[in-house]
Structures are given as C-alpha cells and as structure tokens.
Chains A and B, each alone.
Chain A
Amino acid sequence: GEDVEQSLFLSVREGDSSVINCTYTDSSSTYLYWYKQEPGAGLQLLTYIFSNMDMKQDQRLTVLLNKKDKHLSLRIADTQTGDSAIYFCAEMNYGQNFVFGPGTRLSVLP
C-alpha cells in the first residue's frame, strides 16, 4: 500500500537552514512533490522532482531524493519568518494515485 511519512514539527531560527524529511513506501512513485500551506490558505506547489533525478535546486529550495531508501528531503536555505507553514510531501505513482504525507509544521523563530 501507499504510505507517506513526515515528522510533524520542526523549529528553526531565522537565517538558519531548514530540512524537512519525508519517507514513502511506494516504489512505483513517478513524481514527488512538496506543497506549502499557510494558515487558512490553499496548497501551494513549491517544487517537484521526477523519480529518476536525485537533486533539484530552485533558488532557496533544494530537493534531495534517495530512491533506494525512498527518502525525500526539502532544504530551505536562509529560512525566513514567511516560511512558517505546513509543508506536505506528496507522491504520484503509476496508478495516478496522489498521496499526501501528514505535513510538517515549520516554525521559524526570530
């Protein structure tokens, strides 16, 4: 079955790097995604990575994928207070099923 796991909470100081981790079980995952949700708002697509890649960088965001360990991480460099939100990892598999993790609540301390 499909299962996506994330740690639920992360606190960092402003200016530090944040690393949010995600593990998944479905080896047929084709794409893996990171979404950001601010309080009371919708899900904003941050970035995504195809399963045949191991890294993708987009400005302050770096996604690392270890397909062997089924481990995905999102690194946010120079974390700002505006980055405080819930970050959802999600996978899409060949069956076109899209599964979210439970979300990691990132708190950025001044």
Chain B
Amino acid sequence: AAGVIQSPRHLIKEKRETATLKCYPIPRHDTVYWYQQGPGQDPQFLISFYEKMQSDKGSIPDRFSAQQFSDYHSELNMSSLELGDSALYFCASSSPARTGGHNSPLHFGNGTRLTVT
C-alpha cells in the first residue's frame, strides 16, 4: 500500500539558509500534518492542513511557513535557519473520516533529517 512520501530524506544547510521540505500524502488523504522531532524528544506538532486550508497551528516558528497544494501535497518552507532547527521533520496524513465524529489515525512518512551547520 502507498505510504506518505517525504523528500528529501536528508538535508544539510548552513545557518541563515532556507530549506523546503516536501510531503506527498497517501492517496485520497485530505489532511496533512507537520511534526518536528528533536534528538531524544517526542514529535512536536507544527501545523496542519485540511482541504488545502490551514486547520491548526502548533509550535511553528514565524520563520517557517507551509501550504497544501491542489494535489494535496504539502511543503514546509524554513528560512533563516538556526542550529536549533536541526531535527527530524515528519509529515503525516489522515483520511477524510470526519463523519460521525470519528477520527482516522495519522500515518507518518519516514521523515526528513535536517542538519543545520
């Protein structure tokens, strides 16, 4: 079965550079989530999109922005990178199970490991 695809798998950037991470959700999934996982930490929610509109916002710095496109893929844009931005960035998607109050589980990609030097 198709899974969530993230690219690139690894990215090395210098301080103050910009980076763009891409996420391709599972087909027919309409909701995309971005998470940041620092070393030894649990994943922290950054932002989510439902039907191409931002649906929720977590601890995403102002230097970061994201969007979901018409084909449901999403991109996380990161500017003025700092050493502390080094982390695993996960994208997750969920299916349109918003009937009867049920929520479908999040399916995660393998992540993009960003290293800022």
Please determine whether A31 and B108 come into contact, CB atoms closer than 8 angstroms: no
Please determine whether B106 and A31 come into contact, CB atoms closer than 8 angstroms: no
In A18-61, which residues have CB < 8 Å from any B CB?
A: 30-31, 33, 35, 40-45, 48, 50
Measured CB to CB, the closest approach of chain B to A72, in angstroms, equals: 14
Q: How many residues of B contact A (CB 8 A)?
A: 20
Indicate the size class of the contact surface on chain A. 20 to 34
Given contacts A42-B110, A102-B42, are A97 and B56 in contact (CB under 8 A)?
Answer: yes
Please determine whether A100 and B43 come into contact, CB atoms closer than 8 angstroms: yes
In the bound complex, what is the Cα–Cα distance between A31 and B94 (angstroms)?
Answer: 13
Q: B33 in the interface, Cβ–Cβ < 8 Å? A: yes
Please determine whether B102 and A101 come into contact, CB atoms closer than 8 angstroms: no
Given contacts A30-B101, A31-B103, A42-B90, are A96 and B110 in contact (CB under 8 A)?
Answer: no
Measured CB to CB, the closest approach of chain B to A31, in angstroms, equals: 6
In B19-62, which residues have CB < 8 Å from any A CB?
A: 33, 41-43, 45, 55-56
Chain B 88-104: CB-based contact to A (< 8 A → 1; otherwise 0): 00101000000001110
Chain A 86-100: CB-based contact to B (< 8 A → 1; otherwise 0): 001010101011111
Query: Footprint of A on B, CB under 8 Å?
Result: 33, 41-43, 45, 55-56, 90, 92, 101-103, 105-111, 113
Query: Footprint of B on A, CB under 8 Å?
Result: 30-31, 33, 35, 40-45, 48, 50, 88, 90, 92, 94, 96-103
